[in-house]
Amino acid sequence: IVQNNVWGSGSASQTITYGPGTKFKVTAQTGSNSGDAPVSYPSLFIGANNGRSTASSGLPLAVSSITTTGIKTSWSWTKSSSTSGSYNAAYDVWFSTGSGGDPSTSVPSGGYLMVWFHKPTADQPIGTSSTTAKLADKNWNVWYGTNSGSGKPCVSYVAQTDISSMTFNLGEFIKDAVTRGYVQNS
């Protein structure tokens, strides 16, 4: 599901185009935010989110099965020469504390894991960075903290240098987060 998600500013607007396949493009964005929260978070998602779900996705899936079998995925992003402002480019995973997921809420009950392909110089992920990891043959700064809006834990793997495209095993990141105690294997 492609979702246009303007939530961090009451006066913001956003226009996106999508397709073919699993692609979208932000064609216009307005708004500003005086806090740390983004103005918007346009995304593609698979699974369940805020009353919507994808058909036959196989999600939710137990964390223990992801860390055992993995999930092969890929993600790419580009910016046009006219792109301005502060933005990140990230792959986001939501965790639930129950086997049925969290299909009717916009906040995960178990927390977040993010893989940042681009980090703006003026902004940072939730929490603090105190360690590094080498995953998917890339070097990452690992950030951990609590989302102030939801009170849920958030672990972010931030590429030490921008990555424009990557095919990877998402289970490798999740397994690392479990090993560090940031995500529960159950």
Q: What is the pLDDT of residues 56-87, one digit of tens each?
A: 888 888 999 998 888 899 888 887 777 777 77
Question: Torsions phi, psi of 181, nearest 5?
Answer: 85, 10
pTM above 0.85, yes or no: yes
The residue whose two tokens read 């196989």 is 58
Question: Torsions phi, psi of 179, nearest 5?
Answer: -60, -35
CA-only gyration radius of the chain, Å? 16
Using DSSP's 3-state secondary structure scheme, residue 132 falls into strand
Position 33 pLDDT exceeds 80: no
Local confidence band at 34 (pLDDT 50, 70, 90 cut-offs) = low
